């Protein structure tokens, strides 16, 4: 007897269809071609236990199952369900026609319950590629799915019994559709709670509207991290395509997004390495056909959202320098001996840093205990090429500023309107061009910095609903480009700051 159905294998952010074929013969052996012996033995024990729990026996025949292409899933137990379906077709519980155009994934418990990894929730993608007419996944991972096409509906089941009842027509499972998430969730840090200068608050709006990376420098306790977290609350909601992409990226790492339209925010610890930021190759015993899978890093998990890098100088040098290309291009290109891949990483990066080891180099009230050499060596951890990729620089100070009068909803609305304005071409006044050239020459900015200044100036004009970039917009952009100015460190060591002369 010959039976065929379909499963799905996850390889990093990709989900591929797997043809599951069974042929029976004389004997009592159970062999799975395309799966290592230990994995096949574990699958046999789980499937046999699930069938016995539901009252079905195990066939007294030799069963040879072929997985095509060879199994290379990061979560091989998720093929338990299609393997169980072909066995059920072999013993007559199901008809081969019932499962011929079905794509299913799920790990079976010994009591017949279904569980799964969030990456398997997107099996409908593989089902469509294989020409299937329906997709079955465990109900507990449905929220990780980005939906399905009309010709290939997605269903969630809690147990093997529910799957059999659905396929035989006894009790159909309802089609699952992602619920709408049209309203922003409550922000972690309300914009109206910030106690920053008007210059800093406008800088936050510019960063959110133009997706310009921002670097905060200031003494401990001046609100660097708080201001960075407030950025997340004023980011616009994601559209459907962006939400589907972020869902797939998070599902590959086993994360279920309960608010898929809300921009993600990632806050990795400073002890994280370069692989944690940019992604890594999945390793282990599960890759049996030479295929390579790549898992997304924090840059990709924050795609279309906010990545907060707190205490940036405390990160390892390789991790900091690995940020260079992704910050500029918005993608992560991973190349290993076994293969290459490109992961999206178009996120807004907000980084915070103290200006010196003790943290009080820029403080006007507390004394800095660091020597000039210590300050320079500490700031050298932030290399020039890296700082060059942050278009907005903000120095936070404790000067008793009043709380912002703009609410989070108002700030988000301004950001949304500015982004709409940015979609149109903008004209430049001659004086604005001249002012930009003078600023670049005076402060000896790089060509990359000049391009970033053009973007910030354009965003400043859009923030004020202007289609023409004026000199005042260029002045504002130059005012946010501080820490890579020629002579900035010498100017910061001002004789008027008494802490440096005590």
Residue by residue, DSSP assigns 357-426 as SSS-TT-SSSPP---HHHHHHHHTTS-HHHHTT-SEEEEE--S-PPPPSS-HHHHHHHHHHHHHHHTS--
Q: What is the pLDDT of residue 501?
A: 32
Q: Residue 306's beta-bridge partner residues?
A: 265, 348
Q: What is the pLDDT of residue 497?
A: 47
Closest by alpha carbon to 81, among 115, 101, 108?
Answer: 108
pTM of the predicted model, to two decimals?
0.87
Euclidean distance between CA atoms 145 and 121, whole angstroms: 5
Tokens of 383: 């290399």
Q: What is the pLDDT of residue 498?
A: 43
Closest by alpha carbon to 102, among 126, 120, 80, 72?
Answer: 126
Q: What is the pLDDT of residue 48?
A: 93
Residues 6+ apart with CB under 8 A from 159: 112, 113, 114
Which domains, from first to last, does the chain contain? 2-168 (3.30.230.10), 191-282+292-418 (3.40.50.300)
Q: What is the pLDDT of residue 491?
A: 64
Euclidean distance between CA atoms 448 and 451, whole angstroms: 5
Q: What is the pLDDT of residue 289?
A: 43
Which residue shows structure tokens 């969030």? 118
Q: Are 321 and 386 in contact (CB under 8 A)?
A: yes
Contacts 24+ apart (CB under 8 A), 414-419: 414/205, 414/209, 414/463, 415/205, 415/208, 415/209, 415/234, 415/235, 415/236, 416/236, 417/465, 418/205, 418/209, 418/210, 418/459, 418/462, 418/463, 418/465, 419/209, 419/236, 419/462
Please list the rounded mean pLDDT of every run of 10 residues in the chain (502 residues).
89 85 85 85 93 90 87 77 94 91 93 90 85 91 75 89 94 80 77 90 96 94 92 92 89 84 93 92 52 83 96 94 93 81 93 92 83 88 91 82 82 96 92 95 92 96 95 96 76 53 32
Q: What is the pLDDT of residue 500?
A: 38
Euclidean distance between CA atoms 101 and 110, whole angstroms: 26
Tokens of 259: 């608010």
Residue 444: which H helix or E strand, with range? none
Euclidean distance between CA atoms 301 and 346, whole angstroms: 10
Let me know the angle formed at the C-alpha of 356 by 355 and 357, rounded to the nearest 5 degrees: 140
Residues 6+ apart with CB under 8 A from 496: none
For residue 217, report the phi and psi dihedrals to the nearest 5 degrees.
Answer: -130, 130
Closest by alpha carbon to 330, among 308, 348, 345?
Answer: 345
CA distances (Å), origin 317, targets 241, 268, 334: 35, 16, 19
| Burial profile 84-95: b = 16 or more Cβ within 10 angstroms, e = fewer | bbbbbbbeebbe
Q: Within its chain, how far is the Cα of 60 from the centroid? A: 48
């Amino acid at each position: 007897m010959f039976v065929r159905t379909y499963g799905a294998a996850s390889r990093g952010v990709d989900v591929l269809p797997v043809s599951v074929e069974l042929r029976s013969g004389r004997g009592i052996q159970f062999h799975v071609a395309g799966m290592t012996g230990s994995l096949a033995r574990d699958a046999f024990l789980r499937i046999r236990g699930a069938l016995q729990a539901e009252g079905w026996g195990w066939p007294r025949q030799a069963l040879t199952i072929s997985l095509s292409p060879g199994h290379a899933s990061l979560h091989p137990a998720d093929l338990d369900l299609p393997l169980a379906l072909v066995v059920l077709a072999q013993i007559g519980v199901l008809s081969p026609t019932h499962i011929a155009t079905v794509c299913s994934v799920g790990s079976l418990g010994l009591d017949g319950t279904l569980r799964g990894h969030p990456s398997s929730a997107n099996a409908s993608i593989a089902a469509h590629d294989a020409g299937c007419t329906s997709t079955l996944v465990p109900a507990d991972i449905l929220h990780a799915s980005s939906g399905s096409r009309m010709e290939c509906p997605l269903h969630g089941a809690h147990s093997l019994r529910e799957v059999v009842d659905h396929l035989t027509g006894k009790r159909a499972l309802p089609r699952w559709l992602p619920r709408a998430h049209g309203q922003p969730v409550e922000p972690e840090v309300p914009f109206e709670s910030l106690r920053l200068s008007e210059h800093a608050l406008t800088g936050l709006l510019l960063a959110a509207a133009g997706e310009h990376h921002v670097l905060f420098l200031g003494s401990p306790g001046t609100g660097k991290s708080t201001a960075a977290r407030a950025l997340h609350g004023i980011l616009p909601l994601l559209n459907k395509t962006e939400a589907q992409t972020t869902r797939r990226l998070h599902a590959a790492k086993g994360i279920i997004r309960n608010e898929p339209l809300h921009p993600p925010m990632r806050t990795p610890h400073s002890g994280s390495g370069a692989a944690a930021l940019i992604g890594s190759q999945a390793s282990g015993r599960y890759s049996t056909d030479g295929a390579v899978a790549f898992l997304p890093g924090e840059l990709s998990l924050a795609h279309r959202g906010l990545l907060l890098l707190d205490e940036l100088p405390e990160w390892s040098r390789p991790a900091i320098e690995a940020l260079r290309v992704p910050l500029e291009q918005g993608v992560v290109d991973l190349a290993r001996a076994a293969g290459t891949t490109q992961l999206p990483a178009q996120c807004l990066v907000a980084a915070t840093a103290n200006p010196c080891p003790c943290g009080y180099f820029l403080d006007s009230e507390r004394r800095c205990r660091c020597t000039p050499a210590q300050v320079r060596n500490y700031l050298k951890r932030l290399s020039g090429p890296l700082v060059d990729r942050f278009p907005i620089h903000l120095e936070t100070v404790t000067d008793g500023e009043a709380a912002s009068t703009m609410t989070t909803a108002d700030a988000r609305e301004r950001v949304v309107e500015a982004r709409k304005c940015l979609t149109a071409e903008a004209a430049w006044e001659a004086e604005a061009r001249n002012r930009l050239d003078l600023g670049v020459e005076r402060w000896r900015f790089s060509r990359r910095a000049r391009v970033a200044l053009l973007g910030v100036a354009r965003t400043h004009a859009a923030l004020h609903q202007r289609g023409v970039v004026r000199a005042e917009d260029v002045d504002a952009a130059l005012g946010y480009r501080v820490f890579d100015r020629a002579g900035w460190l010498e100017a910061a060591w001002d004789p008027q700051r008494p802490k440096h002369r005590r």
